[in-house]
A and B are shown apart, each in its own frame.
Chain A
Amino acid sequence: MRFVARVLVMAVLGVSLPIGASFGQQGDAASNNPSEALKEFLRSYLNPGPGDHKETIRITVVSVKTEDKAGEEEIVYISGPQGLWCGTGGCNMLIVEPFGTSYKVIGDLSIVQLPIRLLSTMENRHPDIGVWVQGGGIQPGYEAVISFDGTNYPGNPSMPPARPVKGIEGKRIITTTENSVPLY
């Protein structure tokens, strides 16, 4: 019953659950069963070089529905050791949507802390996403909303057009990296 209830809530919020999806802690909706095609795209996009220790890259993926032609987008939280794939400001978050047989990046955020929330509001047929901003000198942290501008989501949640918000309804979709999987 509990699982069914969660599915219903996320269906309302537009969270899709690929087959084999599993939940993380604290209501984490991370499916974390990324397709090989997605992983291949991410490897190509990130293109780690010498000294990047690509074997340390881990990803946490959640699919969310959009009203755009693609019909869905993937929220990808890229984590790894501090100093390599994360900094004091947080880790990298990509938002990609299917494009032909592959994907295209519509959001590349540099400093994202968890949790990540799927909000109930939309801009340009894509859902607003709430990300936590803290560290790098920002104390205490706050939730910032990133909205799709028709082409991209903003790249830096600590700067406009990302905006601090409080009390917006939404669903936590990634709260932990405990269920992350290696990219390589």
Chain B
Amino acid sequence: MTTTSTNTYKETSFASVAQSPGSNKCRQIRARLHGLVSSSLRLDAGWAQRHIANCPRCQSRIVGVGKVELALSLVKSRRHHLDLLMRANMQAVGVLKHSLREAPKAEKLKSTLPEPKLSEQLSKYKHSTANVAACLAILFLMKIGIFCSMEQLQTRGQEVLKQYYAGHVGQDLADEIFSA
């Protein structure tokens, strides 16, 4: 029952995308298909894990891919010497024309050291930025919650007083007092 309703929803959403005007229809459908495929075809899904546990060929394939990924990570993690860029620049500039070799920029290149990218430089502020954003969000939600509660309190209080007056001095007079 749940599967049927999910499928109906997916079909409806695809139909709505297909019927919607605009040039990026294909892109939207592709994005949805990608989302659906990546959500349903995960390697850690139960059915996949059950198969892999009993299939030596799949096991060897996964081990092979893991080995390649490990080797790639090892290659990427090995850092070169800090002065390699400087030496490479020096060697490359050395074969250019004399006028280029003597240019101020060439002199600067000969002493250039690698600098971290802006994204890497800002990555150290990532956690503190996330914390500040979370605090602000909590404060905002608390503020909204407090205002909502106060409004509710005021409304309820008014209703109680109106009922009290209606019971003691009459409905007409209570309406007149609270409508003012």
Whether A and B are associated in the same complex: the answer reads no
